[in-house]
Every structure is written in C-alpha cells, then in structure tokens.
Amino acid sequence: MQLKVLTRAIVSNSDMIKNYKSCREKAETFGKIFILRNNQPDAVLFSIAEYERLHDIVEHLESLEDKDIEKFVETLPKAGARKEYSLDHLKTDIK
C-alpha cells in the first residue's frame, strides 16, 4: 500500500530529536508527521486530535457485529495493492 504523504509532513529522525517542539507543532498542523531514519519510514507522530479520531474509529469497528463488519469490508477500495483481510482476520485484528 502506498501512502500519500505531504513532503512538509516528513521530518528526519535527527530533526525530531533536536527540534521536538517544532515537530510536535507540525503534527498539530497536519494531524500527523512521518519520521524518517536513513531516508526510510521509521515512525509516525500523531496530534492528540488525530489520535482521538482514529481511536474513535477503532472503538466503533470493535463494536460492530459480523454482518456489519462484512458490510464495512465491502465499502473498502477494491483497486490497488490494498491488503486483503478475511472476516476472521478482521475480527482478530480489531480486538
């Protein structure tokens, strides 16, 4: 799966260590920043607002019944290199 990432939302590991405050502010602006080490993705720093949004989504998914999970899976994009999940795999991953 390829992520679409704004180049302004990418920082180096050394920049993160030296300038944490400015990196945190950048995460607030963009919702998240991607941290590279040796020009490779290493970590993601989420703003608290983005983390809470994602947490709510995960909690909602965990509350779904099997039939609702099946409906949700049907709405996911079909094209591209999206990883395929079975219903059992999804139930295991979200609990």
Model confidence, pTM: 0.65
55 and 38 in one domain?
A: no
43 and 18 in one domain?
A: yes
35 and 59 in one domain?
A: no
Q: Write out residues in the chain with pLDDT < 70, as ranges.
A: 1-3, 79-95
Task: Look up the domain containing 33 and give its range.
Answer: 7-47
In this prediction, residue 69 carries a pLDDT of 82
The C-alpha atoms of residue 89 and residue 13 are separated, in whole angstroms, by 33
In this prediction, residue 17 carries a pLDDT of 94
Residue 28: inside a domain = yes
In this prediction, residue 20 carries a pLDDT of 95
65 and 34 in one domain?
A: no
In this prediction, residue 26 carries a pLDDT of 94
**CB-CB contact of 45 with 24 (8 Å):** yes
In this prediction, residue 48 carries a pLDDT of 95
Q: What is the DSSP string of 13-46?
A: HHHHHH-HHHHHHHHHHHSEEEEEETTEEEEEEE
**Domain tally, the chain:** 2
Taking CA atoms, 51 is separated from 19, 48, 69, in Å, by 21, 5, 22
55 and 41 in one domain?
A: no
In this prediction, residue 64 carries a pLDDT of 85
Residue 2: inside a domain = no
